[in-house]
Structure 1
Amino acid sequence: MAAPEFTLIIGDKNWSSWSLRPWLLMRQAGVPFEEVHVRLRRPESKADILALSPTGLVPALKWRGETIGDSLAICETIADLFPERKLWPRDALARAVARAASAEMHSGFGALRRDMPMAVIEHLPGEGHTEEALADARRVVRLWRDLRFRFGRQMPGDQGFLFGHFTVADAMYAPVVTRLRTYGVDLPALGDDGTARAYMEAVTTLPAMRDWAADAAAEEKLKT
């Protein structure tokens, strides 16, 4: 069997939200790849990553002798290479909105990242519920509701995702789904009418997401 064309370098699955994004996208798209795992939060972690990626950060995608860093850049690359997978909405307006939502996730929500860091297999209700983090979470809930109402629910064969079928936007927000669950965020208190909860269920029950969580649990068990 030929070796996969792509190698994806990722960090610990319990913590590395940026690694989850392209990993989930490639799994959902059915794109084969070799997975290389670097342990994080160790004295040697930076050197280990630098040996594989010039940015010193994960994730990184190795393809045709190049190393592509940054989650969104990797997702864009896969979407470009596999247009038949429809990893962006086909409609031009929906695609523009999906890109804007993905970019907002990429550059924003700093308080939510800081105060409720991804911890996939942990259960920490009430922790990190700062005013700033909850304001970010409220914006996420509102955004999900808007995208589902304007785009997702209007799509023939709607599968419960932001734009109907799974796209880059869903990969970008998947770590937020885990955060809201880990920290027991009260969705109705943030204005959820049930849309955010249903969307979270659609993401959480993806076989690839279940595999990621199972792998995270196995990795953490090995550390003990």
Structure 2
Amino acid sequence: MAEFTVVIGNKNYSSWSLRGWLMARIAGIEFEEILIPLDLPETQAAIRKHSPSGRVPVLVHRGLAVWESLAIAEYLNDLKPEAGLWPPSAAARAHARSISTEMHAGFMELRNNMPMNIRASYPGKGMTPAVRADIERITSIWRDCRKRFSGAFQKDDGFLFGAFGAADAMFAPVVTRFRTYGVKLDTDSDAYCNAVLAQPAMKEWIDAAKHEPWLIQAYELD
């Protein structure tokens, strides 16, 4: 039996579940996965068996529940500092945490108008001036990180700080949104998206999302 359990929602729709799940994969821990389909009459009761907030994701370790993606990242970083969830230098680490927190708290226009739906294709839908402003801020963050910190781990695999880490996990759902909604990006931002989508854990998640049977009608924009 695995020492850790990661409780998530639908892989096709649950952006926060993707973030927390990726944190666990980056940490390299073995974990049991519990997927609770969202938007069903029994969903809340099922989630509250594991998560005091009633939301996913939640990491359960030896009876301790850790919820919220950034809290999961920090907990796993404490347990596995060698895994590289955050960059080794103080300056890069502070920057990674700053942009991750900005992602956690912001970009509501993008989230509301372009909900995550990995298996869908809605080019052009959801684009408003406010969404465009969110996109411009996000891509400016990506370009700035690549310019200033791409060698933070002494290896550059095309991610924000070189190696795939917690900050990339925080922005991974945005990458899927940009593909779903056909968002046109500058060359550097598009290259970053391609790197994220080619990351093995992301490929695994996306494949599973495409084969899920559940539908949440609010996220189906046909």
TM-score range, shorter chain: over 0.9
Which residue does 1:180 correspond to in 2? 178
Which residue does 1:115 correspond to in 2? 113
Which residue does 1:202 correspond to in 2? 195
User: What is the identity, as a one-letter code, of the residue corresponding to 1:166?
Assistant: F
Task: Find the aligned partners of 1:72 and 1:142 in 2 and give their Cα distance.
Answer: 22
Alignment of 1:4-43 (within 5 A): 4-43=2-41
Q: How far is the alpha carbon of 1:28 from its aligned partner?
A: 3.0
4+ residue runs of structure 1 moved beyond 2 angstroms?
153-157, 220-223
Q: How far is the alpha carbon of 1:134 from its aligned partner?
A: 1.4
Question: Cα deviations across residues 108-141 of structure 1 (Å, max 9, x unaligned)?
Answer: 1111111111111111111111111111011001
Structure 2 segments unaligned to the other structure (5+ residues) = 217-222
Q: How far is the alpha carbon of 1:154 from its aligned partner?
A: 6.7
Change (3 A) 1:156 1:5: same
Q: SS where residue 11 of structure 2 aligns?
A: coil
Which residue does 1:89 correspond to in 2? 87
Task: Find the aligned partners of 1:120 and 1:149 in 2 and give their Cα distance.
Answer: 29
Structure 1 segments unaligned to the other structure (5+ residues) = none
Which of 176, 201, 205 aligns to 1:212? It is 205
Tell me, yes or no, if the aligned pair for 2:155 and 2:162 is still in contact at 8 Å: yes
Change (3 A) 1:132 1:186: same
Q: How far is the alpha carbon of 1:26 from its aligned partner?
A: 1.8
Which residue does 1:44 correspond to in 2? 42
Root-mean-square deviation (CA), in Å? Answer: 1.6
Percent identical: 51
Task: Find the aligned partners of 1:214 and 1:154 in 2 and give their Cα distance.
Answer: 30
Q: SS where residue 220 of structure 1 aligns?
A: coil
Alignment of 1:136-155 (within 5 A): 136-152=134-150
Which residue does 2:133 correspond to in 1? 135
Q: How far is the alpha carbon of 1:153 from its aligned partner?
A: 5.0
Tell me, yes or no, if the aligned pair for 1:160 and 1:199 is still in contact at 8 Å: yes
Tell me, yes or no, if the aligned pair for 1:153 and 1:160 is still in contact at 8 Å: no
Which of 37, 40, 61 aligns to 2:59? It is 61
Tell me, yes or no, if the aligned pair for 1:14 and 1:220 is still in contact at 8 Å: no
Which residue does 2:219 correspond to in 1? none
Task: Find the aligned partners of 1:138 and 1:74 in 2 and give their Cα distance.
Answer: 28
Q: How far is the alpha carbon of 1:29 from its aligned partner?
A: 3.1
Task: Find the aligned partners of 2:102 and 2:36 in 1 and give their Cα distance.
Answer: 27
Tell me, yes or no, if the aligned pair for 1:122 and 1:182 is still in contact at 8 Å: yes
Tell me, yes or no, if the aligned pair for 2:26 and 2:165 is still in contact at 8 Å: no
Task: Find the aligned partners of 2:153 and 2:77 in 1 and give their Cα distance.
Answer: 20
Tell me, yes or no, if the aligned pair for 2:157 and 2:163 is still in contact at 8 Å: yes
Question: Cα deviations across residues 51-106 of structure 1 (Å, max 9, x unaligned)?
Answer: 22221101111112111111111111111110111211111101100000100000
Task: Find the aligned partners of 1:71 and 1:30 in 2 and give their Cα distance.
Answer: 16
